[in-house]
Amino acid sequence: MKFLNTRKYPVSVQYIICIALVLFVSFISFYIQPIIGYRVVALVLLMTVSFIAMLFEILPVILAAVLSAFIWNFFFIPPLFTFHIDKVEDALFFFLYFFIALINTVLSFKIREAEKKARDKEEKENILKLYSTLFNSLSHELRTPISTIIGALDTLKENKTTLTEENKTELLSVIHKASFRLNREVDNLLNMNRLESGMLKLNADWCDLNELINAVIDKLFPCDNKTIAFNPDENMPFFRLDAGIIEQIIYNLLHNAIHHTPENTIIKVDVSHDMDLCIITISDNGQGFPENKIPFVFNKFYRLPDSKTGGIGLGLSIVKGFVEAHKGTVTLENMKTGGARFIIKIPAEATYINNLKNE
Q: Is residue 82 part of a domain?
A: yes
For every one of its 359 residues, what pLDDT tens digit does the chain have, with 9 covering 90 and above?
444 567 778 888 888 998 999 999 999 999 898 898 888 888 888 888 888 887 888 888 888 888 988 898 899 988 888 888 888 888 888 888 878 888 877 877 778 788 778 887 777 776 666 556 555 555 555 676 788 888 888 888 888 778 888 888 888 888 877 787 777 767 766 766 667 667 778 888 899 999 999 999 988 877 778 899 999 988 889 999 988 889 989 998 998 888 888 888 999 999 998 888 999 999 999 888 988 888 888 887 777 766 665 556 777 888 898 899 889 999 999 998 889 999 999 999 888 654 444 45
| Gap between the Cα atoms of 254 and 224, Å rounded | 12
What is the reported pLDDT for 356? 46
Q: Do both 86 and 169 map to the same domain?
A: no
Q: Do both 40 and 160 map to the same domain?
A: no
Helices (H), 159-296: 165-197, 209-220, 243-260
Q: Is residue 275 part of a domain?
A: yes
What is the reported pLDDT for 309? 57
C-alpha 206: how far from its chain's center? 28
Radius of gyration of the chain (CA): 33
Q: Is residue 254 part of a domain?
A: yes
Q: Is residue 133 part of a domain?
A: no
Domain, as residue range, for 242: 205-357
Q: Among 58, 88, 120, where does a domain finish?
A: 120
What is the reported pLDDT for 127? 60
**Domains: count for the chain:** 3
The DSSP result for 106-168, as a single string, is HHHHHHHHHHHHHHHHHHHHHHHHHHHHHHHHHHHHTHHHHHHHHHHHHHHHHTTTT--HHHH
Question: Is the preceding omega at residue 295 within 30 degrees of 0, hence cis?
Answer: no
Q: Is residue 134 part of a domain?
A: no
| Gap between the Cα atoms of 239 and 280, Å rounded | 12
Q: Do both 75 and 160 map to the same domain?
A: no
Q: Among 128, 163, 197, where does a domain finish?
A: 197
Q: Do both 189 and 212 map to the same domain?
A: no
Q: Is residue 297 part of a domain?
A: yes
Q: Do both 215 and 146 map to the same domain?
A: no
What is the reported pLDDT for 192? 65
207 by DSSP, 3-state: which? Answer: strand
Q: What is the pTM of this model?
A: 0.56
Q: Do both 87 and 210 map to the same domain?
A: no
Q: Do both 177 and 253 map to the same domain?
A: no
| Gap between the Cα atoms of 326 and 244, Å rounded | 12
Q: Do both 113 and 154 map to the same domain?
A: no
Q: Is residue 126 part of a domain?
A: no
For residues 236 and 209, the answer to whether their CB atoms sit within 8 Å is: yes
| Gap between the Cα atoms of 187 and 200, Å rounded | 14
Q: Is residue 44 part of a domain?
A: yes
What is the reported pLDDT for 333? 94
Q: Do both 149 and 113 map to the same domain?
A: no
For residues 249 and 265, the answer to whether their CB atoms sit within 8 Å is: no
What is the reported pLDDT for 58? 83
Q: Do both 151 and 255 map to the same domain?
A: no
Q: Do both 80 and 8 map to the same domain?
A: yes
CATH code for position 351: 3.30.565.10
Q: Do both 345 and 243 map to the same domain?
A: yes
What is the reported pLDDT for 132? 60
- Short-list 22, 29, 126, 110, CA closest to 77: 29
What is the reported pLDDT for 24? 94
Q: Tell me what percent of the chain is helix, strand and coil, each rounded to the nearest 5.
A: 60, 10, 25
